Amino acid sequence: MLEVGMQASLIEEVTPKNTADQIGKGGLQVFSTPALVALVEKLCLEFLGPHLGQDEATVGTKLEVAHNAATPIGMKIKIVATLKSIEGRKLGLEIRAFDDNEEVAVIQHERYIVNSTKFMEKALKKRR
């Protein structure tokens, strides 16, 4: 059961594969914002998934990212998610990211609990 105040965390090492340079930012060997967003998605799925019903999932609908400091290759990024609000099927999360020296990002994230089958049926109708 989901409850306001629940927390979860995840740690990832900064490698050449998750740097800004990998997405075309000419030589910047630092953890990229897209990699940060992907890490947030991974954490939310691992964090929230066990608390959902059999045919439920969560989908992200809004992200407000303040990526305020660079983290070079070889350091680790730790993200900590806190469930801040539950309004029916809408979940509000705050995610804070830290490297070995400082807080590097603050993210406000909105997700919705959906019925997986209905969600996919609606999405696949677009192809018809």
Q: Which residues are catalytic, by number?
A: 33, 41, 67
Q: How far is it, in rounded angstroms, from Cα 83 to Cα 61?
A: 15
CB distance 105 to 36 below 8 Å = yes
Neighbours of 74 (CB within 10 A): 10
Judge whether 81 and 7 are in contact, CB under 8 Å: yes
